[in-house]
Amino acid sequence: MKTLIWTLGFVASFFIAGCSSPGPSAAADPQVARITVLYDAFGKASAMQKDWGYAAFVEYGGKRILFDTGNNPDVLAQNAKAKGVDLSRLDFVVMSHRHGDHMGGLAYLLAVNPKVPIYAPKEGFGVYGADLPGSFFRADSSLPPEQRYFDGAPPEVMRFGAAWPGANFRLVDKTTEIMPGIHLIALVSDKPGTMELKELSLAIDTPEGMVVVVGCAHPGIDRIVEAAARINPRVHFIAGGFHLVVAKDPDIDKIVTILHDTYKVDYLAPGHCTGEPTFTALRKAFGEHYLYAGLGSTFQLGARPMAIAATGDPSRSLDREDLESYRALLATSDDLDERVVARVDR
């Protein structure tokens, strides 16, 4: 029954998308299931501005979710306006991690939606706020009160401020189902340069499998997918940054094999810090199950995820301007799949 309801909803949203722009409707529609890239550094020419960073607008089950805020508040404002996305109407926000190219747009978000719930990773003395037990430090009762923290009587819990006072942060330190079917995967990076960095990924358990949105995948895209597969072994769709932007070919090949052969990911739409050589390698491995994810792309979710063209037509995975950008992106590839080109040109 659950699958039937999903299928009917997907069919309905398919026809709705074909008659309207991919921008949000007047009210959240529980039948709409799609992801729109609001911030990235590549894409076709449009009113949207390219910049290094990432943000995605996720609509699912009647919920309107902003995942990350990009690098610059003015660019986020411009891009949201260009796509018709009203950031004053959100159910919640997910901040994947504390790097500036993912949280730089928070100033604009809070200006238009100051009380929106914002899920963020919990870190000791973190920029999103934190708390620690009052006993976290070593005490020495032989000292006089004036030399002791809190005169020797610290509070049971010590709470620390955020870089954005008044923001409605909800800190997450373990993988959590924040509402039915919607999970936040919490992992910690063990990679040089980002050691101990905590990161959240959004994982939605759909009838088709897990839909996963990642920010930078600093803990490793393989570990994130592994965690998602523990919720539902079928990983249906992944979007976002895979953090392989400077990776060597053997490391890229290893991740591609894990995603394609080990976890048998159905579809993916990589962007941001995935890296140009990784785009090429993933495209070769996944063929038509690889979706171009340039700035402004909107993906209709469901049994067969697909990109919605600017006209709102979901029957084509790429429009002509997208195709030009796509060809440039894969210019180093010797075997661009002509079936994709033919599908757009026909």
Structure tokens at 276: 């140009």
From CA 157, how far away is CA 131, in angstroms rounded? 7
Pairing of the two strands 34-39 and 55-60: antiparallel
Q: Return the CATH fold of 2-17+29-128+163-315.
A: Metallo-beta-lactamase; Chain A (3.60.15)
The amino acid at residue 270 is P
pLDDT tens, per residue, the chain with 346 residues:
444 444 444 434 433 333 333 344 445 788 899 999 999 999 998 999 999 999 999 999 999 999 999 999 999 999 999 999 999 999 999 999 999 999 999 999 999 999 999 999 999 999 999 999 999 999 999 999 999 999 999 999 999 999 999 999 999 999 999 999 999 999 999 998 999 999 999 999 999 999 999 999 999 999 999 999 999 999 999 999 999 999 999 999 999 999 999 999 999 999 999 999 999 999 999 999 999 999 999 999 999 999 986 545 543 444 455 555 545 555 544 444 444 333 333 3
Answer for the pair 285, 265: CB distance below 8 angstroms, yes or no.
Answer: no
| Residues 216, 96 contacting (CB under 8 angstroms) | yes
Six-digit token pair at 337?
């799949």
Paired with 240 in beta bridges are: 214, 270
Tell me the C-alpha to C-alpha distance, in Å, between residue 90 and each of 66, 199, 321.
Answer: 7, 21, 30
Report pTM. Answer: 0.83
Cβ count near 149 (within 10 Å): 12
Dihedral angle over CA of 85, 90, 92, 95, nearest 10? 30
Per-residue pLDDT, 181: 97
Q: Return the closest-CA partner of residue 162 out of 127, 116, 131.
A: 127
Dihedral angle sign, alpha carbons of residues 59, 176, 128, 165? positive
Q: Helix, strand, or coil here: 229?
A: helix
DSSP H or E stretch at residue 281: helix 276-286
pLDDT score, position 323: 52
Question: Residue 325 has what pLDDT?
Answer: 56
Spatial distance between the Cα atoms of 115 and 166, rounded to a whole number of angstroms: 8
Rounded distance, CA 262 to CA 225, Å? 10
- The pLDDT value given to residue 28: 76
Q: Are 276 and 329 in contact (CB under 8 A)?
A: yes
In the chain, what are the domain boundaries? 2-17+29-128+163-315, 130-161
* 216: three-class secondary structure by DSSP: coil
Hey, what are 218's tokens?
A: 């600093």
* pLDDT value, residue 101: 98
Across the strands, what pairs with 176?
A: 184
Region at 193 (left for phi over 0; alpha for psi -120 to 50; beta for the rest): left
Instruction: Please answer whether residues 290 and 326 qualify as being in contact, where contact means their C-beta atoms are separated by less than 8 angstroms.
Output: no
